Structure 1
């Protein structure tokens, strides 16, 4: 018997997610008002993830499908699921996160024939129970540059044809792969619709994730990606670049500061390459420069960030927000 084509394909990459996978799948199964398929991509787990996934497939035949991807990493796992997806719309969902009720049907109703990408707000739930809502940026390029405001893979919805057209996820990015994907969507001129409601929950926890947690590598890739974005804006969107140059510089400075936290020599090298004339406050949007940035003209980027790292190591937790 022919199976009705689902409206949404949910791709769930899973690595050592035995404790969370059932919760993630349950958040999809509880969605109402649309048809869907769930593709779980088991990715070299060393725990019982495959067994949990198989049990979910057995419990929901025709809805849940389990495949394995031997190439390690979130990009490869998501691409494997994308290749098998049958629906017009793709929902990527991390195995340790969850969709909020009504997410899929609501976002499908927001789409039009020319919509490529639905961006939803994300709810972050911390281990102590505190919750933070990440709003959507008014300017998608600013959301990209500051790594906030373009939703989250869990909170968004993507037209499959465009995801296929841009080649899916870049295997060279073991981290920042979501924003590298977003970058290529914006480069291609994706037509965006915004969903100003929380669409998914990202659970902060100390357990393993499919995305690499090598902090130096994550920071390096973030700087490299930001440099690619700035290069694109200079070359292809010169008018936008000139109108937003100070904000763009501040975003690049922010990526360098993130790198300085875990790799000060690498950050200093990148700063000297990107800003060879040094720090000039007039070149940066003050709204995005940290308070300790007043020291940059006097001490330089490297020495200032070295001092920030030193004081951050022992000041009370409540004061550390002033040193970020």
Structure 2
């Protein structure tokens, strides 16, 4: 057994694909060398999740059913119902690496209560690895996160409970960036420590992607504005200009993906004026996934 102390894993669920849900649940209950509890939040599913998970007899699993309020409200409900000194968040289609929670717990304890993280393995629908996203940053990284340089998924993070609570509730006014908003607020409160071993296998599939790409740009703008509202002294500084350039770099990538060359060019020009490094950052973050897609494509495509 590793460091003592209960880790609560919070999993919001809304009308899931049952085999993926069961795999996600099994991955949490199969965590090695640490004490975990799993709080599954049934976000008003048509079929109660307690019925869906019939046959899983494990006292560490609790299902909390709430009225449908979205993923942010479900995560708040899960944290409120949890009892652990540390908290992880995962989704109903992802799989936690079996030894990851114990390793992240050791990192957090050794660093005096830091937020700990590992690598994210992006997978296809069948959980076949496509590429691995790692990060090298440590210490105080909130500003790097604001600029899109803290490349860590929510599911690869372990939070001390105190930090998760002090960060405040999940913000429900976002369509696709609620994870980033919460993580950014948590990073303003604590150091981080990371490792390069996989923490989560992140399943990518059409149902998990927004059908409105523009929502990503709108959300990013709102997350940046919320950060600047918390730190008004940063308005008018190079950080604001660089964050605006980062938004435009993201807009250029989304527009290019949609084939809108005019919008891509406008975003690209604005990003270059604000901070050319934002463009290089987007290219660097996109390159591994692009290489993976190209290598996986049949010959002649």
TM-score range (shorter-chain normalised) is 0.7 to 0.9
Instruction: Label 1:163 to 1:69 Cα distance change in 2 as closer, same or farther (>3 A).
Output: same
Do residues 20 (structure 1) and 20 (structure 2) align?
Answer: yes
CA shift, 1:131, in A, is 1.6
Following the alignment from structure 2 to structure 1, what is the Cα–Cα distance between the partners of residues 226 and 92? 29
Question: Of 70, 73, 89, which residue of structure 1 is paired with 2:70?
Answer: 73
How far does residue 23 in structure 1 lie from its aligned partner after superposition?
Answer: 0.3
**C-alpha displacement of 1:25:** 1.1
Structure 2 CA distance for aligned equivalents of residues 111 and 291 of structure 1? 30
RMSD: 3.6
Distance 1:286 1:82, change over 3 A: closer
Pairing 1:1-324 to 2, within 5 Å after superposition: 7-17=6-16, 18-46=18-46, 49-56=49-56, 59-60=57-58, 62-112=59-109, 114-127=112-125, 129-138=128-137, 140-141=141-142, 143-147=144-148, 149-187=150-188, 189-207=189-207, 209=208, 213-229=211-227, 235-236=233-234, 242=238, 247-257=242-252, 260=255, 279=270, 281=272, 283-286=274-277, 288-289=279-280
User: Which has the greater radius of gyration?
Assistant: 1
Deviation at 1:68, TM superposition (A): 0.9
1:100-157 C-alpha deviation (Å, 9 max, x unpaired): 1211111111123732411221110124845211111537346523546342121110
Q: Is the 8 A contact 2:234 2:240 kept in 1?
A: no
Which stretch shows the higher mean deviation, 156-165 or 105-114?
105-114
Distance 2:45 2:247 in 1: 36
Report the more deviating stretch, 85-94 or 191-200: 191-200
CA positional deviation for 1:89:
0.2
Contact map agreement 1:42 1:66 (CA 8 A) in 2 = yes
How many residues are aligned here? Answer: 273
Cα displacement string for residues 211-254 of structure 1 (whole angstroms, at most 9, x for unaligned residues) = 8654333331122223444676672498xx54x67754531322
1:279/1:85 CA distance change after superposition, 3 Å = closer
Relative to the length of structure 2, the TM-score reads 0.76
Separation in 2, partners of 1:191, 1:222: 23
- Shift in alpha-carbon separation, 1:165–1:233, aligned structure 2, 3 A: closer
Q: Please say if residues 167 and 186 of structure 2, whose CA atoms lie closer than 8 Å, have aligned partners that are also in contact.
A: yes
What SS does the aligned partner of 1:79 have?
helix
Contact between 1:37 and 1:64, CA under 8 Å: does it hold in 2?
A: yes
2-side partners of 1:51 and 1:22: how far apart? 12
Counterpart Cα distance in 2 of 1:182 and 1:229:
12
Distance 1:150 1:84, change over 3 A: farther
Q: 1:290 to 1:164 in 2, by over 3 A?
A: closer
Question: Which stretch shifts more, 166-175 or 65-74?
Answer: 166-175
For normalisation by structure 1, the TM-score amounts to 0.71
